[in-house]
Each structure stands twice: as structure tokens, then as C-alpha cells.
């Protein structure tokens, strides 16, 4: 029996970047009572200071959700049997206050204008008749121009450093000339460049490409944001992606959003609260059902519910709560769970004749080119519709990950004296040039509930039906060819290994960019939420985050998830609250 609690105006499920950002908008602009339910705990700054430890944090995933409590099941195709992901691999869901925003790398990209109208764009570019059957790509229903000021808000809040390449339509040297037009220069200058990323910048410039320093939420200089939050500059310690920042230079919900909220009278953060269902009646929410650490059940009444619990849990909660129409891949009917995308990524291993001092770095420290991003370099005969960008990242190498990597074919075993000598010799003379490609949505890739496996409280796991298609294999092969060309121009030797043509592999890290399942669209026939992230069927339910992305743009999702959150907050506060219970679309 669930214990009923005192009603609140708004419950936000999930205390990560999007949930706390929505809470901040609500608590600073209204007098509503806002309760954030977070399943993990609040970490202290002292914990982060002592977390520069590869074993507990990188090898044993101390920042991540306990996979023993909940995981996903996966199958490659509908005819296959699903099995659970038993240990972390292809992506890393965060937990605790701040969510994955605590351990992220800090890449703070905007998406380009065409991303938001990709279906229309591809039709214009290649002809609608030439688009392959099974392509589920859609327009978002919101445009870059509508989001531009929200991107700017997010960049100021986080303190993003970078160099504009397109300032109000003028192409600017040193920035990314292929980005959408920015109304403002970045709040801060770019981060410093490592040796590796400098070599990449020089080589790509000589090849006629357009390198620019990766836009980064690791502060390039000490910074005070518009909320008055003061944070110090990045120290490039290399314990960044997968770790919380020891000094608060990396923008995290805990150091950038939460301090604004903490003392607000209407705000409450309740940790160790595992939300199991959104409760609803006659098309309106009544609140949520959650369990605490000891397994006690509570009913938290609320007039509005905001789901902000990352892509996977947003979709799973909607499925478990029976809100919306689950996607049926056989008939193509239904929307909930459709358009599951991950990332098309490949790493080209390269070797140098000089040491790189690669232990220095930070999550978003690096240089990239967008010359092959989107379809700007394609003729239409390559067998792909979209490619991606190419990066030289200096995240800070640690030997447990990188010791033992030697040019393929040079040793007879990966252990023993011969291997050890080669590994010592090549240590710190190897790096990866990364291709980060778009993952297009396909009709056969989707999420639903698993029929067999359950979480710690007995609820069904979310199930992925996901595999690579020929399109993704071709993207990787072309990306790898471009990376090899750049490597040679850098004076490096690319390794002989080529991108795998294997099936989707849950055991190998790709990125933590899982998108879709509750996508936004201009009609309830095509998506779960409207262009303001309000649920089409239940108007007092809002669903934030990358679950709304109809497909994966090559760039990292966080800044767009934040821009969409303040876009949704404006609609909720300025329009929905004036006539509750109605669609704002």
C-alpha cells in the first residue's frame, strides 16, 4: 500500500541536467512548489576531489547506475531472443544528483540548422524517391532559429568556451564555418590545445579543411555565469570523462544549477526515490508512485509531472505507466519506443614517433573538423546519406586503458616479454582519431518492455531491438578513410585494423548518446510529445531530454537537451500555466 504524501504543484522525475534546469526555471519564475525525485544520492565536492582513481571510477563504474538493480535487454532483430546487458559496455547511464551530467565529458555543441529538418533536407538534397525504405528520419517540429536564444542561455549558464565560425551569417576564421549562425560569440575563449590536437589542427589546415577547437563546458577561464555562480578554470588533470570535477571547472548540474535552487522556498530535492509509475486518470496525471531505499511505497500527488530521467528511463516509465501507444515495428503503428538511435562511431588507431604526453587533457579538450559532417562532402554515389565529424580528442590517457596497445601484427601474443617490451616502447606514442557520425533512425530499431527480465523491484526491463545497417558500416568505412588521410598528414602511421562490420555490440563503449523513444513531432501520429515536449495525449505531462530526438545528429546531445528544456519551460510557464490542461501546440 503506497503512503499518500502532501500534494505538490510539479513533480520532476530525475535530478540531472534537464530536470534541475526545469526546476530552476520554475522556481525562479513562479511560486509553484517543485519536487525533484532522484533515485541516487547527493555527492559531495570532497568525494570528487578524491576520485582521481581509475579503478573505482573507470574500471568499476562508481559514478554509474548500479547495473545489478536495473539494466536493459537487447536483441539485434525481432526474430532474436533478447538477453540482458549484464555489465556496462556500449553506454554509461549516470545516477545520483546531476545524473550523467556529473560524469560527462563537457562537449557543448549546437546542432546545425539542417538537423532539425532532416527529412525535408534529405528530400531536397537527394530526392525523396531516392531515400531508402525503412528510413524513419523525421523533422523535429522545432527549428534552429527558434532554439538559437536557448542555446545561448545554455552556453552562458555552463560557461562554454569556443570560437564562433558563423557570427550572424559572417564566416569567421578559426571557428567552425559550417555551424549555424550564432548571434553572439561564445561566452569564453576556447580551451587550450594539447600536442596531439595541435598536430591534428596543423595537418587538417594544410589539407584545406577547417579545424576548430571543440566547444567545451570545461571552463577555459574563471567564470561567473548570469546566475552569479563562480567557477574556476580547467586544470586539464585528465580525470574528467567518467569522473566528477574536483574543482568544479566542468559544468555539472551539482555545481552550476543546484546552487541556484538550493535555497528557493518552493524547491525540494528528494534523493533515493525510485519512481515506478506516472499515475493518471482520464487523460490527466494525478502524481507518481515511488519507492524509497527501504522499499517503502509512496504516492506523491502532483498537478504536473515532468519526466527528466534520461532517455531510457523516460521511455520505460511511459511504457510501464501505459501512457501513449507503444510502437509496433511489424505494422509501423504507434509512436512510443520508436526511433531508437545511438551513435555511429569509429576510432582509427594511429602511432607516432614522438611522445604525446597524453596523460594531460580533459573530456572536451580537442580539435575537430566538420568538413565531412552532414552530407556536404557527398555526391550521392557513396552509399550513404550522412557522415559525421572527425575529432582529435585529448581526454587524458591513463595506462590501465592504453598500456599494451601496439601496432597490429608486431607481436605474437598480447602478454609476455615480447609484448611487454613493445608496449613500453609504444606507450604514449599512440592516439585515436575519432569519427563521430550521425545515426539515422530506421523502422526496425526501437524500444519496448522485455518479456523476461526485470529490475530489482520486479518491473520489466526496457528492451532494445537495435542493429547496424549497411548505411552505418559505410559511414564508418568512409570516416576511417578520411581519418587515415589526416593521420598520414600528421606524420603518424595509421594501424592496419579497419572498422568492424560486426553487429551492434553492447560490450564495447560507443558513446552515452542514446536518443529517441519519446520523440517530438508536429503531429500525434508521428511522435509522443509536441514541439514543446508536452505529451500529445496527457497535457500535464512533459518529457525532457534526448528521448525527444527523432534521430542522432553526429554532435553530442547535452547542449541541445538543455536548450530544449528552457524552450519547453517557456511554453510551460508562459502559456500552459495560464490555461492548464490544454495542449500548447
Partner 1 sequence: MRRREFLTISAGAIGATTLLILARESGALERQGDDVVVPLRFLTAKEARVVSAACERIFPRDASGPGATDAGVIIYIDRQLAGPYGRDKYRYTKPPFVTSVPEHGYQAKENPRQMYRAGIRDLGNFDELAVDEQIRKLKEIETSSFFQLLRRHTIEGMFCDPMHGGNADLVGWALIGYPGPQWSYRDDIDRHFGQAWRPKATTVEQLMGHVPPLMEDESE
Chain residues binding partner 1 by CB under 8 A are 47, 49-56, 59-62, 66-68, 71, 74, 76, 81, 83-87, 89, 192-195, 198, 233-239, 354-355, 357, 359-361, 365, 394, 398-400, 403-404, 413-417, 420-421, 424, 427-428, 452-454, 502-507
Asked about 513 being catalytic, the answer comes back as yes
Contacts of 189 (CB under 8 A, 6+ apart): 161, 162, 163, 220, 221
CB of 452 to partner 1, least distance (A): 7
Q: Report how far residue 174's alpha carbon sits from residue 563's, in angstroms, rounded to the nearest whole number.
A: 25
CB 443 within 8 A of CB 526: no
Complex with partner 1: residue 90 or 157, whichever CB lies closer: 90
Nearest to 355 by CA among 281, 425, 262: 425
Complex with partner 1: residue 282 or 412, whichever CB lies closer: 412
Any idea how long the chain is? Answer: 585
Q: Report how far residue 6's alpha carbon sits from residue 383's, in angstroms, rounded to the nearest whole number.
A: 58
CB of 89 to partner 1, least distance (A): 6
CB of 55 to partner 1, least distance (A): 5
Q: Report how far residue 401's alpha carbon sits from residue 384's, in angstroms, rounded to the nearest whole number.
A: 33
Complex with partner 1: residue 97 or 233, whichever CB lies closer: 233
**Cell digits for 92?**
554509461
Complex with partner 1: residue 64 or 584, whichever CB lies closer: 64
Complex with partner 1: residue 209 or 504, whichever CB lies closer: 504
CB of 517 to partner 1, least distance (A): 21
Contacts of 502 (CB under 8 A, 6+ apart): none
CB of 163 to partner 1, least distance (A): 16
CB of 266 to partner 1, least distance (A): 35
CB of 506 to partner 1, least distance (A): 6
Complex with partner 1: residue 76 or 498, whichever CB lies closer: 76
| Residue ranges in 174-330 assigned as alpha helix (H) | 195-206, 258-261, 310-320
**Cell digits for 474?**
559505410
Complex with partner 1: residue 286 or 313, whichever CB lies closer: 313
Complex with partner 1: residue 416 or 580, whichever CB lies closer: 416
Q: Report how far residue 308's alpha carbon sits from residue 266's, in angstroms, rounded to the nearest whole number.
A: 19
CB 144 within 8 A of CB 164: no
Q: Report how far residue 358's alpha carbon sits from residue 355's, in angstroms, rounded to the nearest whole number.
A: 8
Residue 581: strand, helix, or coil: coil
Q: Report how far residue 19's alpha carbon sits from residue 4's, in angstroms, rounded to the nearest whole number.
A: 23
Of the residues 150, 473, 513, 555, only one is catalytic, namely: 513
Q: Kindly report the number of other CB atoms within 10 A of residue 239's CB atom.
A: 23
**Cell digits for 281?**
486518470
**Cell digits for 228?**
552569479
CB of 253 to partner 1, least distance (A): 22
| Interstrand relation of 344-351 and 430-437 (parallel, antiparallel or unpaired) | antiparallel
Q: Kindly report the number of other CB atoms within 10 A of residue 100's CB atom.
A: 23
CB 77 within 8 A of CB 105: no
Nearest to 518 by CA among 395, 350, 334: 334
The secondary structure of 338-360 as a DSSP string is: ---B--EEEEEEEE-SS---TT-
Active site positions, annotated? 513
Amino acid at each position: 500500500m503506497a503512503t499518500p504524501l502532501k500534494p505538490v504543484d510539479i513533480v520532476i522525475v530525475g535530478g540531472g541536467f534537464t530536470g534541475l534546469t526545469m526546476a530552476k526555471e520554475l522556481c525562479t519564475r513562479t511560486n509553484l512548489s517543485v519536487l525533484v525525485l532522484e533515485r541516487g544520492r547527493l555527492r559531495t565536492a570532497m568525494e570528487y576531489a578524491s576520485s582521481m582513481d581509475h579503478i573505482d571510477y573507470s574500471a568499476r563504474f562508481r559514478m554509474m547506475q548500479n547495473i545489478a538493480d536495473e539494466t536493459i535487454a537487447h536483441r539485434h532483430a525481432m526474430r532474436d531472443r533478447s538477453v540482458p546487458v549484464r555489465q556496462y559496455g556500449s553506454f554509461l547511464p549516470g545516477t545520483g544528483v546531476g545524473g550523467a551530467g556529473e560524469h560527462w565529458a563537457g562537449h557543448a555543441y549546437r546542432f546545425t540548422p539542417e538537423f532539425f529538418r532532416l527529412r525535408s533536407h534529405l528530400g531536397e538534397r537527394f530526392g525523396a524517391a531516392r531515400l531508402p525504405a525503412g528510413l524513419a528520419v523525421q523533422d523535429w517540429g522545432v527549428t534552429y532559429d527558434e532554439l538559437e536564444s536557448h542555446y545561448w542561455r545554455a552556453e552562458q549558464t555552463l560557461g562554454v568556451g569556443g570560437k564562433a565560425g558563423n557570427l550572424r551569417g559572417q564566416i569567421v576564421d578559426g571557428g567552425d564555418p559550417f555551424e549555424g549562425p550564432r548571434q553572439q560569440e561564445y561566452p569564453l575563449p576556447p580551451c587550450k590545445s594539447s600536442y596531439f590536437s595541435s598536430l591534428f589542427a596543423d595537418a587538417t589546415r594544410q589539407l584545406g579543411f577547417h579545424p576548430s577547437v571543440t566547444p567545451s563546458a570545461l571552463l577555459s577561464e574563471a567564470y561567473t555565469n548570469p546566475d552569479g555562480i563562480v567557477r574556476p578554470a580547467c586544470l586539464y588533470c585528465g580525470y574528467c570523462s567518467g569522473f566528477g570535477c574536483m574543482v568544479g571547472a566542468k559544468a555539472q548540474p551539482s555545481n552550476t544549477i543546484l546552487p541556484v535552487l538550493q535555497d528557493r522556498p518552493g524547491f525540494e530535492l528528494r534523493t533515493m526515490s525510485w519512481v515506478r509509475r506516472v499515475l493518471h486518470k482520464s487523460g490527466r496525471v494525478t502524481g507518481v508512485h515511488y519507492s524509497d531505499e527501504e522499499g517503502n511505497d509512496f504516492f506523491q500527488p502532483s498537478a504536473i509531472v515532468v519526466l527528466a530521467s534520461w532517455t531510457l528511463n523516460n521511455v520505460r516509465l511511459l511504457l510501464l505507466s501505459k501512457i501513449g501507444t507503444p510502437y509496433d515495428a511489424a505494422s509501423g503503428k504507434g509512436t512510443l519506443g520508436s526511433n531508437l538511435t545511438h551513435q555511429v562511431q569509429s576510432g582509427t588507431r594511429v602511432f607516432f614517433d614522438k611522445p604525446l604526453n597524453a596523460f594531460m587533457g580533459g573530456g572536451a579538450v580537442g580539435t575537430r573538423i566538420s568538413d565531412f559532417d552532414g552530407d556536404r562532402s557527398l555526391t550521392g554515389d557513396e552509399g550513404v546519406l550522412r557522415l559525421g565529424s572527425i575529432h582529435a580528442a585529448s581526454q587524458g590517457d591513463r595506462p590501465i586503458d592504453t598500456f599494451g596497445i601496439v601496432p597490429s601484427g608486431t607481436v605474437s601474443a598480447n602478454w609476455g616479454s615480447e609484448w611487454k617490451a613493445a608496449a613500453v616502447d609504444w606507450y604514449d606514442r599512440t592516439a585515436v582519431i575519432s569519427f563521430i557520425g550521425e545515426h539515422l533512425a530506421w523502422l526496425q530499431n526501437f524500444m519496448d518492455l522485455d518479456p523476461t527480465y526485470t529490475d530489482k523491484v520486479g518491473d520489466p526491463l526496457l528492451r532494445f531491438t537495435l542493429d547496424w545497417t549497411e548505411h552505418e558500416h559505410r559511414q564508418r568505412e568512409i570516416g576511417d578513410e578520411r581519418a587515415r588521410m589526416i593521420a598520414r598528414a600528421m606524420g603518424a602511421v595509421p594501424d592496419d585494423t579497419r572498422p568492424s562490420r560486426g553487429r551492434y555490440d553492447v560490450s564495447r563503449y560507443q558513446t552515452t548518446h542514446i536518443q529517441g523513444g519519446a520523440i517530438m513531432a508536429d503531429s500525434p501520429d508521428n511522435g509522443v510529445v509536441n514541439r514543446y515536449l508536452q505529451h500529445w495525449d496527457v497535457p500535464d505531462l512533459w518529457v525532457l531530454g534526448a528521448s525527444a530526438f527523432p534521430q542522432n545528429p553526429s554532435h553530442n546531445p547535452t547542449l541541445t537537451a538543455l536548450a530544449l528544456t528552457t524552450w519547453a519551460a517557456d511554453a510551460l510557464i508562459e502559456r500552459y500555466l495560464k490555461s492548464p490542461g490544454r495542449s500548447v501546440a
